[in-house]
A and B are shown apart, each in its own frame.
Chain A
Amino acid sequence: MRRQRRSARALRPRDWGWPGFILGLALASAGITVADWQSPLRGVVVFAFLVLCPGMGLVRLLGLRDALAELALGVALSIALTTIVASLFMYAGFWSPLAILLALLAISIGGALTQVRLLSRPASS
């Protein structure tokens, strides 16, 4: 028998907290870098993206319910992922900061969108 499809749960504003932050920072970093915007703010935005977004995009999927653990793991994983992705590009003989940024954007945005998708999933009865 076909299961009846249930409608997605409406997201509350607070559900958008981290996913929105990650998406905003990722898009801002991409825009700033592509436009080569020279401003002290560029350093702050890009630095925040690099140390938070790739990791938080993935760590939040685990639903650890421990803010300190999530934040610390998010930072550690962000830096570790950036190190590994950038090193892979280097050892592959294809050093391109823009390509590395694209890979990190994919991880961050993919993680954030998956968080939104999981949050909007109807609770199983």
Chain B
Amino acid sequence: MKPPRKPVPVKVVRAPTRPAQIASPARLLLAGSQVILMALALLVWERGLHTIDLTAMNDLGLVSVLPWTFFAALGLLTVSFCLGLRQRVPAAPLPLLHLLALILILYGTPSLIEEVPRFESVWKHVGVSEYISRTGAIAPEISAYFEWPGFFILLAFGTELIGASDPLGLAMWFPTLINLCFLAAVLLILKAGTQEPRTIWLGAWFFSITNWIGQDYLSPQALSYFFYLMVIAVLLGWFKAHPVAAPPDAARIEPAAARRWPHQLRRWLAAPEAVSNKASNVGQRVGLLAIVLTILAAIIASHQLTPFVAIGSLAALALVGRIKPRSLPLLLAVATASWLSFMASAYLTGNAAGLIGALGQVGSAVDENVTNRLRGSPEHIAVIYSRLTMSVAIWGLALLGGLRLLRQGQRPVTFALLALTPFFLIIAQPYGGEMLLRVYLFVLPFMAFFAASAFYGSPRAGRTWATTIAIAMVSITLLGGFMITRYGNERADNFTASEVAALRQFYELAEPDSLVMTVAENMPFRFRRFEQFTYQLWLAQLETEGIDQLVARLEQGDYRQRYLILTRSQRAAAELLYGLPPGEWDRFSAEVQASPRFRAIVATADVQAYLLVDERGGGRP
């Protein structure tokens, strides 16, 4: 009979003791200074908002029109936050208040200075929910959105219940609201991974200042991401398991065997967690598991990509015994496959060849995710390089933090798995060139943890002024980068109330079952009568083909009417994102205006909508 294995020695990091209840004068002075600095930052930020002129924006985006006060506010907030981290255990409400103020400044600024919700996809999503409200049904034959309709059904229901005509009011503030949700989830995750409070606060800070991906607009992926984070937070908080791949008794193995990589790998994977599960009874665990299953069901019904990330992450954790129940990823995989087979079968049938063909095509994935994106105006290319630099910077910092933890004998295997597993998606699917962005987002909380560990790897580390200054410098650099990387496309992503009013007018005039040609997709469209129009793009032909070819293209197909829409934001997108040479838009626009085949039905400074007419000026050519 085999002797029982010795239990794996667990290195317990003691929770830092709470500071004395009676605050010292120094602590009070620090807290008071922080409150004053934070209030000053908010005041300076708010005053500066009134001076922003969006019409003066260039291809570097929002950063080109932000006043110095905006950056001063971020500087003050950063200094104040970093001063708070000088305490061994920062006074709880203050770092939280700093993070709330940070989110308001970083994510709420566009809501205060722009006239209508930014980002073309928001308007499309509003259109899908309008269809559901209007018809009381979903239509998978129209769009793949209806094959994962959970989010849109939620939006339609909420809009009707509120008695609003559309969810644009929510869309305006959605990035700020959902980032508050992300913050709560990330704090829970970090609390489940370390007992060092400064790592928790700094990790959440790094997360918030490097989440430039922009996947937090009114969308299924934003909500599903919050759900994903909450699932991870619950599993790490209450369902961590003792590693099953425990190393064999050191006394019973040969020294040579101990040096072999399989043994080393097993030792790594069996490293104990830094934080134990939160205390819970059976009833609490059953309840929490039911909540996890409910949230996973909502993810499956709402978004096509997130379930696969969840399957990958949970499978990685379950395979090496970091969470229980270990059958959870299998259950999730079966549920996801069932949804694909029964509820999203049309999408699967239509795209199976493409999905399977893309498997393992690393070269094309890199091309679609990186190389093909390196285009546009010179300023825009600088923005793209900033994004690559910022990604490398936070990942590099995370690598340093990971190495520092290793040197101190810590093995945060769970966080390492969650930081690395989503990268398999790049090999699996280019996702229209967006997979690298999505992977960045899914690994970000864990990268932020490792980045924070570069400064606070141990309870004794990081109390010198050098560390405080280093954190402030890194934060200010990342914050400067954030305003370029996140809002670098703002000239094309932001819309005016005039554009929206003109397009509302267009949708009132336009006949159903018609063709709508646009140059680019960056415009607030499809928010009404989602199913009634076919949309096509003319961007690729704009420089090479003339008006006659455009007319010939419009005349193809069986449509009731054919329309051409040109907008200010399309022009911005064509020049900024696709590098349309200066003057080309004006030439094209003048040719359309002069052509007898186009009759303007809506004409404002920002929008021109034309109806294609026959040579005699009548409709329906």
Contact = CB atoms under 8 A, between A and B. Distances in A.
Given A76-B227, A77-B295, A68 B184 contact: yes
Contact of A73 (B150, B161, B230, B297): B230
Nearest to A66: B278
B523 interface: no
Interface string B294-330: 1101100110000000000000000000000000000
Interface stretch (A2-10, A11-19, A20-28, A80-88): A80-88
Contacts of A73: 230, 234, 291
B188 A80 contact: no
Contact of A69 (B160, B164, B169, B188): B188
Contacts of A71: 184
Contacts of A38: 163
A66 B230 CA distance: 14
B131 to A, nearest CB: 12
A84 B297 contact: yes
Given A76-B227, A90-B149, A101 B161 contact: yes
Contact of A84 (B132, B283, B298): B298
B233 A72 contact: yes
Interface in B256-281: 278, 280
Nearest to B180: A75
Given A43-B164, A61-B287, A81 B157 contact: no
Contact of B301 (A47, A87, A100): A87
A50 B158 contact: yes
B310 to A, nearest CB: 13
Given A61-B287, A62-B284, A87 B149 contact: yes
Interface size of B as a range: 35 or more
A112 interface: no
Contact of A47 (B158, B187, B278, B284): B158
Nearest to B182: A72
A90 B158 contact: no
Indicate the member of A46, A68, A77, A80 with the most B CB atoms within 10 Å: A80
| Interface residues of A, dominant DSSP | helix
A109 interface: no
Contacts of B138: 90
B185 interface: yes
Contacts of A62: 283-284, 287-288
Contacts of B170: 47
Contact of A86 (B153, B184, B188, B234): B153
B153 A87 contact: yes
A72 B188 CA distance: 9
Interface string B215-256: 000000001001100100110010000000000000000000
A29 B163 CA distance: 12
Contact of A83 (B151, B185, B237): B151
B181 interface: yes
A72 B298 CA distance: 16
A101 B292 CA distance: 23
B219 to A, nearest CB: 14
B392 interface: no
Interface residues of A, number: 38
A113 interface: no
A77 B294 contact: yes
Given A43-B162, A46-B162, A75-B181, A100 B283 contact: no
Contacts, number: 108
B161 A68 contact: no
Nearest to A45: B162
A79 B223 contact: yes
A95 B237 CA distance: 37
B136 interface: yes
A3 to B, nearest CB: 22
A114 interface: no
A59 interface: yes
A58 to B, nearest CB: 8
B509 interface: no
A83 B137 contact: no
A109 B261 CA distance: 57
Given A38-B163, A42-B163, A81 B158 contact: no
Interface string B17-44: 0000000000000000000000000000
B154 interface: yes
Nearest to B302: A83
Given A43-B169, A62-B283, A68-B187, A36 B234 contact: no
A46 B161 contact: yes
Indicate the member of A46, A63, A64, A79 with the most B CB atoms within 10 Å: A79
Nearest to A50: B158
Interface string A30-46: 00010011100011001
B225 to A, nearest CB: 11
Contacts of A72: 181, 184-185, 188, 230, 233
A17 to B, nearest CB: 19
A62 B281 CA distance: 9
B171 to A, nearest CB: 13
A80 B288 contact: no
A5 B529 CA distance: 64
A80 B227 contact: yes
A43 B167 CA distance: 10
A122 interface: no
Contacts of B297: 80, 84
Nearest to B170: A47
Contact of A82 (B136, B154, B184): B154
B490 to A, nearest CB: 27
11 contacts: A29-B161, A50-B158, A68-B187, A75-B184, A76-B230, A76-B291, A79-B223, A79-B227, A82-B157, A82-B158, A97-B160
9 tightest CB-CB pairs across the interface, nearest first? A95-B136, A80-B298, A72-B184, A76-B230, A86-B157, A97-B160, A83-B298, A83-B154, A62-B287
Given A69-B188, A75-B184, 20 more contacts: A29-B161, A43-B162, A43-B164, A46-B161, A58-B287, A59-B291, A62-B288, A64-B280, A64-B284, A68-B184, A68-B188, A72-B184, A77-B295, A80-B295, A83-B153, A86-B153, A87-B301, A90-B153, A95-B137, A100-B157
